[in-house]
Amino acid sequence: MPPSHDAIVIGGGLVGAAIAWGLTGQGLRPVLLDEGDVAYRASRGNFGLVWVQSKGFGAPHYQRWTRASAAEWPALAADLAARTGRDVGLRQPGGVQLCLSEAEFEERAARMAQMRAEAGNFGFDHRMIPMGPELREMLPGLGPRVVGASFTPYDGHANPLVLLHALHRAFTEAGGTYVPNARVEDDIHAAPHDFAVTAGGQRFAAPRVVLAAGLGNADLAPRFGLHAPVRPQRGQVIVTERAAEVLPMPVTTIRQTTEGSIMLGDSVEEVGFDTRQRPEVIKVIAERAVACFPWIGRLNIVRAWSALRVMAPDGLPIYDQSESCPGAFTANCHSGVTLAGAHARLLAPMIAAGALDADRLGLLSAHRFAHGEAA
């Protein structure tokens, strides 16, 4: 079958949409195939942080990739605003992790110092700030249990649902084709630079294919000579009514939306494909938030949900091009908001050019699991 498109991108979540949109900037006209509303979609249930400070402990290449993405974010947000009129709500004032005991503070200080050491000449700007006037001024309303915080200037947050919508809109307005209710299953042809799939009752062919199907990548990848050993990891989030108080910067598990509500998150639960909520977990999230900011305890909770992260055995992203079927790529990560800048503006040009940059992404290949997975 002759190519119907320049590229097939499988998965219309944040990862697929960012890459698909980025490919249009390289002059390509991809088709974006997306499963129906039954799908697990981390992109619709996440916390919205553009978060750098905790990323890449023991893996400085991941810290560098995350930093590169945070640096690309202002251009991504500006580009999306110019093309769609949507403000994705990006704020990058830096971010804070609060410590509720001396032990937590010391452990955090050691971790941040090690990350700085691992960063080498690349640098890692951070400060440990003990409880006192400076921290109180940075974050008014802190509670008496807070003993200090780590701060890095790279962190921020955005509205992830507006981001997803803006990426889709920019993609289609740039000439890309979005096909909903289009699950790619069995009828797959994969040969070097020659791919065809059936989805939603139609056949699509292209010289490139990008597997960005989140948890669906685990099953799809072997069909293209790739390996994507991702598993679900549940996270729960709660949202309060709009608050009169103002949180000037995000905290790892607490952030204020541009509309004023407070988002509290997010748990880490190994429960397989189970999106039920557990009151015990919600209680822990709420208790920690109130210990950090007692005024949060006066707010009503208006929504709560759970969603499944797309998690690799070591928690790092996975990017590869197939060796047996060049032209087939895979992208997997559990920080699709944070990495949207890199996916749209750094990864997509690599895919369009036909080669992943080994300096940036070589260590994020699934080859690192070749000698046994921890999953």
Ligand X SMILES: Cc1cc2nc3c(=O)[nH]c(=O)nc-3n(C[C@H](O)[C@H](O)[C@H](O)COP(=O)(O)OP(=O)(O)OC[C@H]3O[C@@H](n4cnc5c(N)ncnc54)[C@H](O)[C@@H]3O)c2cc1C
Separation CA 12–CA 32 (nearest Å): 6
For ligand X, what does the binding mask look like between residues 165 and 204, x meaning CB under 6 A?
A: -----------------xxx--------------------
For ligand X, what does the binding mask look like between residues 47 and 86, x meaning CB under 6 A?
A: xxx-x-----------------------------------
* Closest approach of ligand X to the CB of residue 194, in Å: 19
Q: Which of 218, 337, 352, 356 binds ligand X (CB under 6 A)?
A: 337
3-class secondary structure, 304: strand
Listed in sequence order, the residues at least 6 apart from 226 whose beta carbon sits closer than 8 Å to its beta carbon are: 211, 320, 322, 328, 330, 366
Residues touching ligand X: how many (CB under 6 A)? 44
Closer residue to ligand X in complex, CB, 51/319: 51
Closer residue to ligand X in complex, CB, 42/316: 42
Separation CA 250–CA 54 (nearest Å): 13
Give the orientation angle of helix 160-173 with respect to helix 14-24, to 10 degrees.
30
205 membership: H or E segment, kind and range: strand 202-206
Is the Cα torsion angle 158, 159, 160, 162 positive or negative in sign? negative
198 membership: H or E segment, kind and range: strand 194-199
For ligand X, what does the binding mask look like between residues 302 and 321, x meaning CB under 6 A?
A: -----xxxx-----------
Burial zone of 370 (CB within 10 Å; 0-12 exposed, 13-18 middle, 19+ buried): exposed
For ligand X, what does the binding mask look like between residues 220 and 259, x meaning CB under 6 A?
A: x--------------x-x----------------------
* Closest approach of ligand X to the CB of residue 137, in Å: 25
Which part of the chain contacts ligand X (CB under 6 A), choosing from 21-29, 140-148, 209-217, 320-328?
A: 209-217
- Does position 163 bind ligand X by CB under 6 A? no
Which string of DSSP letters, residue by residue, matches 218-237?
A: HHHGGGGT-----EEEEEEE
Residues 100-119 that bind ligand X (CB under 6 A): none
Closer residue to ligand X in complex, CB, 312/356: 312
Contact 198, 22 (CB under 8 A): no
For ligand X, what does the binding mask look like between residues 34 and 53, x meaning CB under 6 A?
A: xx---xxxxx-xxxxx-x--
Contact 342, 62 (CB under 8 A): no
Q: Sheet containing 301-311: give its strands across.
A: 254-256, 261-264, 231-242, 301-311
For ligand X, what does the binding mask look like between residues 8 and 37, x meaning CB under 6 A?
A: --xxxxxxx----------------xxx--
* Closest approach of ligand X to the CB of residue 199, in Å: 6
Phi, psi of 245 (to 5 degrees): -65, 155
Which residues of the shown chain bind ligand X in the complex (CB under 6 A)? 10-16, 33-35, 39-43, 45-49, 51, 182-184, 212-216, 220, 235, 237, 265-266, 307-310, 333-338
